[in-house]
Chain A
Amino acid sequence: MSDEMKSFEALEDRLSARKTEYDAMPVPDAAAYQAVQAGIRQAARKRKSRLRWVMSSISAAAIILVFTGCIRVSPAFASFVEQLPGMEGIVSMIRQDKGLMMAIDQSLLQKVGVTDEHDGASVTVDSIITDESRMVIFYTMKGMKDPDKGMYDIDLLDRDGKKLPVAFSYSSPKPASESGIYEDKIDVSFTQSLPPQELTVVFKERDKETNYNWKVTFPVDRSLTKGMKKIIPVNQTMTVDGQRIHVKQAVLYPTRLVLDIEYDRNNTKKIFGIRDLQLVDEQGRAWRTDSSSISGSGSSVFFESMYFSAPKKLTLQGSGLSAVDKDELVISIDPSSGEIQGGPSSLKFLKSTVQGKNLILEFSIANAQNATSGLSFTNIKDSKGNPFEINEVGWSPSVFEARVVIKNGAAAKGNLTMEIFSYPDQSRAPFSIEIPVNP
């Protein structure tokens, strides 16, 4: 036998020893089964990923949702929570938020189970989880017409029937494991008020002819998370892409962490968001953000909560900014021709449509891959100086197209002047700073 043959034979022996280890590899059957089910559901859905954003007209803060597409929880942990009774649906909805899962694991989920049923269809609020900063409402729709096509609007009312001063987001409900049943969640942010003691959720069919409403009213137990708010002072300044950013404090709630940051007024760019922002703990676990509330001088960034994992160390990391030069903020647009003056060169007009009293403007934005925010405007005026407001914005991350609905915009005269309020564009400039967890 040649030396070469011998060495190959020895190698094959080693490979076959490695095969024994391969065969002994433990397979997490429950989690693998769950992954298969999730894949089937995902394929059955086949929906376009357009999310609807709702902004309260009362609230000065707007919620900007972030599409990162890379946030995920360890499936082992997910399958653990999933084994709790009644948790499968909820887990598939909040799989990307490990802080919320831990909060649920700490028995902070409140069972609601209130249903409104008429005209052959029903809506049930199954459960909620809430603290002073955020509420997530889990609901199920049964026998409703085309729930997955986004045919429903949602209102949140207090005991007196008044709309809550909150920002909230929801998307079209997703098909559950049983046919004809759809489920999803409403994510509510309390920035100016505390959660009400009693809440009414109204699901309004968009169909003008029938115009059915389903109303579910239930009490909110605010005592479960009372006194759980923790304030962590930070007071540090960092410079990213030449812009100064002051990190003021972090407020930790069971459902999320709110990081308060302020942008220096002498910055040359207006910052709309920070790219790939995450908090990393001493074990290398990343706690991510999926939304933020933007105010004039800064922003409150919402992260997954590490409340129940009690980290020893936290590092704030990011990879760049979503920002526009301050002298490119104001654009003037002719809605009939689509001609734009001013603004960043990546902004292109697509079309404008009148819908009822509203004016819908659609844009495409070049180089907006992995955008961390949508497009929105403020200070909108027509050529006569009449002010207008935006009542809905949408962003299609797959095609980089933005949609802005201007309330009563059909009545606007001549060119519209608008100031960019959020923009899906970014620079690359990685940074990191320490957050003192135990000062």
Chain B
Amino acid sequence: MLLNKLTLENFRQYYGKHEIEFSTNAKKNVTIIHAENSVGKTTMLNSITWCLYGNTPDFSSSDLVSWNHDGDTCSVKLNFVYDDNEFSVSRVYDKKRRKTKELNLYKIEYGNSVLQEEPVSMINHLLPENLSKYFFFSGENFGGMLSSETKSGYKDSIHEILGFNLPKTALKDLKKLNEKNTKEKNKLLRLQKSTENFAFQLDEKQKSLKEVKLNIESIASDLKSYKSIQREYSQKIADSNHEKAGDLSKEKQVKEMYKREKIAIREGLHQNKHDFIFKYGAAIFSRRLTSRGLDFLNKNDDGDVDDDIVRVPAPYDKGFVNRLLNRGSCICKRPLIKGKIEYENVQYLLHTANTAIIDDRVYKAKMVKDNSDGLAEEFLSELARVEVELSTVDNQIGVYELAIKDIEKRIDALGNVDISSWQKVSITATSDIAEANRKLGSKEAYEVSLKREIASIEREIGRVKMDTPELDQSLKYQETIEKLISYIKRALEKEEKNTVNLIFNSVQKILDNSLRRPFDIGRDEDYNFYQIERTTGSIIKGTDAGKGQTLLLNLAFVTALIGHLKLRASSKSEIFQPGTIAPFIIDAPFAEMDSSYQKATLSFLPEQSSQLVLFLSSGQWKEEYKEIIGKYVGKRYYLVNHSESTDEKDIEILKDGNQEYRLTELNSEHIFTSIKEIK
């Protein structure tokens, strides 16, 4: 979705009809709109959100119609391009009826406007309302971290624009179909004597599986809330006015972070040990077998051991014997005629003859020995290495645990009732997390084992001859649906993981290039993100790292998201819809930023955006910015304030090199705003 043209008619200070065309050129994708404060930058941004979603974040509906206008209505029309087609969306407000008329969406085909059905759903598909403040971004109103302010449905909205909702919906539908089919199938199984018993077993296991899935969901949700409580209360102490407690809590957070890192290393080392069992175990215990088995395999026809010969005691190849019989003559040239003793003697060799399959299997058996040579020594050395590393990391974890306990004692010793009670909550949450993790692990294991049992019963059913074609069909139907579910699920998980990594790697890259101090971006599976001070590991809450930095991070996230959408727009995936190409419209992008961050922002914004519209006051525009962003600018405008004043002092000027543009027109009959293009 790229914005083409915005038409405002008697909307707030835009008295009369005003149009602005945005640059849709791929190389010159930036449109800049200069204006002083209170002239109409934010109004223009709001007019777009009002047109698309019907809400106005900064003013009430009753103030929509221009105060100069004698009529009762105002309107906003937005032309945009999507998927190489032009659309026009419009909304009208009627002051007299105090009513916003329904949204109208037209597709423009050969100059004709064709009304589209379900406009709200289409607009929300292109740019979900939940994410509107991401794409229509107000630098002055950003408040804090974008993700923490977003209402529920945030993750779904991100999925929508990334094109993930189609496979998600397909999964839901397939699961419903599968449930329906399972019920039908079990009914049919009960009707047939040979499968009646299986049907009862299946019913029971499936019931347990449903219960365990609900349990898992509930524990996972508890776990999420325990984690959030723990984070919230330890942060509360860190943010408290009590300086000493704050410092101690921050110190504790750092120690906890190091402990977590060490625990992750320990987990990896234990996983290495598990892998050793699989990698070396069979080979080590095969030693006796390979030594006695291979002596036998290596014996030649005379019974002597010969390392160059690998065969079973059948010197004749089955194919070769068959060829002799077919051609009717032996290698000694004697004729082989059916019924004759020579023929029967050669034919008898087939009983002990070798075959290609035996050759292959003997080769594989021999490889078992070859592959096990030297592994015992390698295993011992690898195990020793891991055990030394484990012992070191265990010690380090122990040291951090002691330090954390010590800090907790010191916090308690401060004698502050609030802080002690917050700490208690945080410690309880920590033990609740451990308990929930334990429960989750055991329930998940039970789920896997139930699934395996169900699969095993279903395999048994598969072997029973079906009397009813309906049952046979139902089983095949189930197999197909389950294959599809598993395929889509795997694809979705893989794609989501990949997407989250790409987006946040891109944000991290922007931060690394832009920020003065090193910060890492932390994130969770719901696309929520936060800043972590790299040197101390402290999590930065809200705008604690500075408003300018937080604003830069927010812009970096939206830019990275848009950049990823741009990449996904050409996706030819069979499962995922292409991502949406989204515009990025920013009012006052540099609010709270110093000059260095402003320059950094201008460098990353245009390159990754598909379409960028910037509203800038003259104070936010510097001549030197032209060098950074100039080559991307496709269109440039300024908003003129038509004032009743006659005082020349009220004239405001936008300077651009040698050019000057008057931002104020005096002695106007009406107070309103107009749009002028800088050519």
Q: Do A and B bind each other?
A: no
Residues of A within 8 A of B (CB): none
Residues of B within 8 A of A (CB): none
